[in-house]
Amino acid sequence: MSEFKREERYIIIKVSDIEEALFPGERDTLKELAAKVQHCNQDNFGKEYVVVSNSNRELFDYVWKEIEAQWLKDSGKWLEATTKRVSNEKGKLDDKIYRLAAYLNSEYSLKISPPARERLLQQIKVMQEYSGILHTRLMGDLLPHVEGLPVSFENQKEQ
């Protein structure tokens, strides 16, 4: 099975960049060419989805990781796909925990009502617990496996 790799399949140009870089006649030509390509590919038009992240590198990386996980699943590599998805989820959650902890340790969190601050403390506690569960899944159920099947902690105790 081949390896996952990113490939250029689309050309995406911001409208503001077109307006800034091209003369009016060039803009019209570009519009005509785009319409021609769209017309030739009418059967598939609207069936593919494109995600554009203008200035959010974190979102861009996350979407590519999810695309890779889906590719792994579609390639029959369900264990690798699940591991990638759980790892992605844990990474996003840990980032949220880090940001919430920074807020809770800042002077700004002291300005909110005590009940609201208490709810945030409860929230971070649950988030940390969930992160620990995801860590356990990764270390115990997904990464160590026998002949492509996950081995849980319970199975390891029985062996």
Tens digits of residue pLDDT in 82-108: 888 888 899 999 999 999 999 999 999
Using the predicted structure, report yes or no on whether residue 50 has a pLDDT greater than 70. Answer: no
Res 139: pLDDT: 85
Total-model pTM: 0.58
| Cα–Cα dist 100/95, whole Å | 9
The more confident residue out of 65 and 51 is: 65
Among 112, 64, 54, 108, which residue's Cα sits nearest to residue 84? Answer: 64
Predicted local confidence at residue 118, as pLDDT: 95
Q: How far apart are CA 157 and CA 159, in angstroms?
A: 6
**pLDDT band with cut points at 50, 70 and 90 for residue 147:** very low
pLDDT confidence of residue 153: 45
- Looking at residue 37, what is its pLDDT? 79
Is residue 154 very low, low, confident or very high in pLDDT (cuts 50, 70, 90)?
very low
Q: Is pLDDT of 142 > 90?
A: no
Query: Is residue 100 within 8 Å of residue 127, measured between CB atoms?
Result: yes
Vertex 42: Cα angle to 36 and 47 (nearest 5)? 125
Q: Report d(CA 71, CA 3) in Å as an integer.
A: 10
Quick one: pLDDT band at residue 119, thresholds 50, 70, 90?
very high
Tell me which residue of 152, 84, 23 sits closest to 31, measured CA to CA: 23
Mapped to the 3 state alphabet, what secondary structure does the chain carry?
CCCCCCCCCCCCCCHHHHHHHCCHHHHHHHHHHHHHHHHHCCCCCCCCCCCCCCCCHHHHHHHHHHHHHHHHHHCCCHHHHHHHHHHHHHHHHHHHHHHHHHHHCCHHHHHCCHHHHHHHHHHHHHHHHHHHHHHHHHHHHHCCEECCEECCHHHHHHC
Q: Residue 134: its pLDDT value, please?
A: 94
- Give the C-alpha separation, 156 to 159, whole Å: 5
